[in-house]
Amino acid sequence: MITREGMVEKRGVGHWFTHLGLIIGLLFIFFPIWLAFVASTVSQPEIVRPPMPLLPGDQFFENYRKALVSGVNAPVAWMMLNSLIMALGITIGKIVISLLSAFAIVYFKFPGRRLFFWLIFLTLMLPVEVRIVPTYEVVANFGMLNSYSGLIFPLIASATATFLFRQFFMTVPDELAEAARVDGARPMRFFWDILLPMSRTNIAALFVILFIYGWNQYLWPLLITTDPSMNTIVMGIKQMFPSGDDIADWPVIMATSILAMIPPVIVVISMQKLFIRGLVDSEK
């Protein structure tokens, strides 16, 4: 009996330590975000004068209004809209294209099927940065600088997503496709009525990942948008840093940073349930 009590006690202590560890870790990760939030609620002199305040000030509405409406180069509200259009364009485009190409690769036998698959797979090995100069050249020749299409199209093909959907489609039993064929469904009908609803959780998981990928694009928008009205928010933060001797408007920059985090957080939270299901299991 004694040993048993001892074990329970020990487990109880272990429990506390585990939680303590988790809480400390959480504080470490959360601290910079908290600092950014505090900095976005105080005035410029308060930030510059040490020590830096650790509790929110009274400038919250003033700073955020200033950021949203006027910003530094362009209003943040406007930059957020640009980011949203770009992120959604990239996400939806990537999902549609990769679904269709995975469908073609898995369900149709055509000459060069393997070749096409490997060609798509090969592009995984070339990140945007490697092919950025030729891509810029092409986009510039098409006259797509400073445009949404210029922001979206070069990033829209996705080998990763194609590969993931291919793997998922290959786990769908062949008999399902055959049953649909006997039921009279043409290939696209099968795709639309059966494959697409079955991929729902995978699509949700990819949506979250790709939205954050699109939202966080930095180098590409920086290169092709010279017009401040086309700036996206992530690169816009960098553009707010002063060059030379100008004084940085830190409260507004910090407010912008906080604002920039909100849409990805909303996407993650709203799709959390589907997202996790998409990562851990699939309906079959």
Partner 1 sequence: MATVSLKGITKSFGKTEVIHGIDVDIRDGEFIVIVGPSGCGKSTLLRMVAGLETVTSGEVQIGGARVNDREPMDRDIAMVFQNYALYPHMSVYDNMAYGLKIAGTPKAEIAERVAEAATLLQLEDYLKRRPRELSGGQRQRVAMGRAIVRKPSVFLFDEPLSNLDAKLRVQMRLEIKQLQRRLGVTSLYVTHDQVEAMTLADRMIVMNAGRADQIGAPLEVYANPQTEFVAGFIGSPPMNFLPADMAHDAPPGAVKLGIRPEHLTLAQTGTAAKVIYTEALGAETLLHVDLANGTRATVRQDAIAPHPKEGETVHLAWDAGNRIFFDSEGQRC
Residues with Cβ within 8 Å of 132's Cβ and at least 6 positions away in sequence, in order, are: 219, 220, 223
Q: How far is CA 223 from CA 136, 139, 253, in A?
A: 8, 11, 21
Contact string 116-155 vs partner 1 (x = CB under 8 A)? ----------------------------------------
Alpha-carbon distance of 222 to 226, in angstroms, equals 8
Residue of 6, 197, 241, 270 that binds partner 1 (CB under 8 A): 197
Q: How far is the CB of 279 from partner 1 (least distance, A)?
A: 18
**From the CA atom positions of the chain, what is the Rg in Å?**
25
Do 157 and 94 touch, CB atoms closer than 8 A?
Answer: yes
Q: How far is the CB of 276 from partner 1 (least distance, A)?
A: 18
Closest to partner 1 by CB, 7 vs 179, is 179
Closest to partner 1 by CB, 5 vs 175, is 175
Cα angle for residues 72, 215, 79 (degrees, 5° grid): 25
CA dihedral 30, 31, 37, 43 (to 10 degrees): 180
Q: How far is the CB of 196 from partner 1 (least distance, A)?
A: 9
Q: How far is the CB of 175 from partner 1 (least distance, A)?
A: 4
Do 106 and 166 touch, CB atoms closer than 8 A?
Answer: yes
Q: How far is the CB of 164 from partner 1 (least distance, A)?
A: 19
Contact string 15-34 vs partner 1 (x = CB under 8 A)? --------------------
Alpha-carbon distance of 66 to 75, in angstroms, equals 8
> 170 to 189, contacts with partner 1 by CB under 8 A?
173, 175-176, 178-185, 189
> 200 to 219, contacts with partner 1 by CB under 8 A?
200
Q: Is 43 left (phi over 0), alpha (psi -120 to 50) or beta?
A: beta
Residue of 193, 242, 262, 269 that binds partner 1 (CB under 8 A): 193
Residues with Cβ within 8 Å of 281's Cβ and at least 6 positions away in sequence, in order, are: 201
Q: How far is the CB of 169 from partner 1 (least distance, A)?
A: 14
Q: How far is the CB of 236 from partner 1 (least distance, A)?
A: 41
Chain centre distance of CA 132: 20
Closest to partner 1 by CB, 167 vs 229, is 167
Query: Is residue 111 a contact point for partner 1 (CB under 8 A)?
Result: no
| Number of residues this chain uses to bind partner 1 (CB under 8 A) | 19
Residue 74 has a CB neighbour count (10 Å cut-off) of 19
Query: Is residue 194 a contact point for partner 1 (CB under 8 A)?
Result: yes
Site of interaction with partner 1 (CB under 8 A)? 173, 175-176, 178-185, 189, 193-194, 197-198, 200, 283-284
